[in-house]
């Protein structure tokens, strides 16, 4: 069962969310501040972090960046819808997804599941992709190993956050095909409602800084004005 680290300063919300997730079989560690969360993190080894943005001391953005600097584990921000700037900043700080507060337990569960499905192995141990000798695909300098979930560039393995990995795998599966941001939200983030397309933009931007030679004039993840994004053609 997925291990969840919840970083939330309000005691009631912390207890409520912890209760809701425990009922669904998650192991939950709760921290009341970013500093506490960062202390708990190495020992607890969570599969996913739920991170409130409004924290005393180190705020959610800083905590997000600090976690991202060392680990590529999925991070979901807890945010209030319409605090638009928070969403953008959180995504730029490296969060994979966001949940709008207040959220029902089932919504929390669904988002956590969706984000975990994007990453290598869910907690039940079944591989997310069919095992088999899948060849490593090469596009220009990029080497994508779909089975091993490794992306290399010029012989170096790249550290991609879960949503970045999933986005790259999805786009590169059909090179040259254009996907609208709404389509990407549905397929990669599994948002069934009209999510925030800036989630896609922020993720594309972060992905480009890691895989492109010149992020300003991208070669792999290209923008199609008025329609969305596509992988290649190289």
Partner 1 sequence: MNRLGRRVPSRTLLRGLRARLVVGFLVVAAVSALTTALLTYREARNAILQRSQDIAVNDLRAQVNSLAPELTVPPAQEDLDNFRVQLERSGKSREWDISVHYRGVPDSDEGGLRRGVVVPADLKSSVEKRHVPAFQRIDRAGAPWLLIGMPVRQSDGQASALSVYAQLPLSAEEANVEALVSAAQRGALPVLILAVIPALLAARGVLRPVRGLRQAAGRIAEGKLDTRLEVKGADELADLSRTFNDMAARLEESMAELRRLEANSRRFAADVSHELRTPLAAMTAVTDVLDEDADSLDPDTASAVRLISQETGKLARMVEDLMEVSRFDAGAAALHPDEVDVGETIRKTLQARAWQKRVVAELPEDVRARLDPRRLDVVVANLVGNALHHGGEPVRVVLHAPEPGADRLLIEVSDSGPGIDPEVLPHVFERFYKADSARARSEGSGLGLAIAMENVRLHGGTMRAANSPEGGAVFTVDLPLRHDEPNETADADGPDATSAAGTRTAKENDA
- State the sign of the Cα–Cα–Cα–Cα dihedral 179, 98, 142, 214: positive
32 makes contact with partner 1 (CB under 8 A): no
Pick the closer one to partner 1 by CB: 31 or 149.
Answer: 31
193 makes contact with partner 1 (CB under 8 A): yes
DSSP alpha helix (H) spans, the chain = 11-23, 34-44, 60-70, 84-92, 105-118, 162-173, 181-188, 198-211
Among residues 1, 15, 45, 148, the one that binds partner 1 under rule CB under 8 A? 15
DSSP state of 154: T
- Closest by CA position to 93, among listed 57, 51, 74, 65: 65
Residues 92-111 within binding reach of partner 1 (CB under 8 A):
92, 101-106, 108
Binding map of partner 1 across residues 118-157, x = CB under 8 A, - = no contact: ----------------------------------------
DSSP-based three-state secondary structure for 48: strand
The crossing angle, in degrees rounded to 10, of helices 162-173 and 181-188 is 110
Pick the closer one to partner 1 by CB: 4 or 149.
Answer: 4
Residues 56-95 within binding reach of partner 1 (CB under 8 A):
59, 61-62, 80-82, 84-85, 88-89, 92
What is 171-218 written as a DSSP string?
HHHSTT--B-HHHHHHHHS---S---THHHHHHHHHHHHHH-SSTTS-
Q: How far is the CB of 103 from partner 1 (least distance, A)?
A: 6
Among residues 44, 139, 182, 187, the one that binds partner 1 under rule CB under 8 A? 182
Q: And the tokens for 60?
A: 């959610």
Q: How far is the CB of 85 from partner 1 (least distance, A)?
A: 6
177 makes contact with partner 1 (CB under 8 A): no
Q: How many residues bind partner 1 (CB under 8 A)?
A: 49
User: Bridge-partner residues for 224, per DSSP?
Assistant: 228
Interacting residues of 60 by C-beta distance below 8 A, sequence separation 6+: 7, 34, 51, 52, 53, 54, 77, 90, 93
Q: How many CB atoms lie within 10 A of CB 156?
A: 10
Q: How far is the CB of 116 from partner 1 (least distance, A)?
A: 19
Q: How far is the CB of 102 from partner 1 (least distance, A)?
A: 4
6 makes contact with partner 1 (CB under 8 A): no
Q: Interface with partner 1 by CB under 8 A: which residues? A: 10, 12-13, 15-17, 19-20, 23, 59, 61-62, 80-82, 84-85, 88-89, 92, 101-106, 108, 180-182, 192-198, 201-202, 204-205, 216, 223-229
């Amino acid at each position: 069962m997925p291990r969840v680290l919840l970083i939330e300063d309000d005691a009631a919300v912390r207890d409520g969310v912890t209760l809701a997730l425990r009922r669904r079989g998650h192991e939950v560690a709760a921290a009341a501040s970013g500093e506490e969360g960062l202390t708990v993190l190495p020992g607890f080894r969570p599969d996913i972090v739920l991170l409130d943005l409004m924290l005393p001391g180190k705020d959610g953005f800083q905590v997000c960046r600090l976690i991202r600097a060392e680990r590529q584990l999925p991070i979901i921000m807890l945010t209030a819808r319409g605090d638009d700037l928070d969403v953008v900043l959180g995504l730029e700080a490296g969060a994979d997804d966001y949940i709008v507060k207040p959220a029902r337990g089932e919504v929390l569960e669904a988002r956590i599941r969706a984000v975990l499905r994007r990453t290598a192995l869910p907690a039940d141990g079944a591989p997310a992709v069919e095992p088999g000798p899948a060849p490593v695909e090469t596009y220009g300098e990029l080497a994508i190993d779909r089975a091993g979930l490794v992306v290399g560039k010029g012989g170096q393995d790249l550290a991609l956050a879960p949503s970045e990995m999933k986005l790259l795998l999805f786009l590169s599966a059909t090179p040259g095909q254009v996907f609208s941001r709404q389509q990407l939200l549905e397929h990669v983030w599994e948002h069934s409602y009209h999510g925030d397309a800036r989630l896609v933009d922020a993720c594309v931007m972060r992905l480009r800084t890691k895989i492109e030679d010149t992020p300003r004039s991208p070669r792999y993840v290209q923008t199609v004005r008025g329609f969305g994004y596509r992988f290649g053609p190289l």
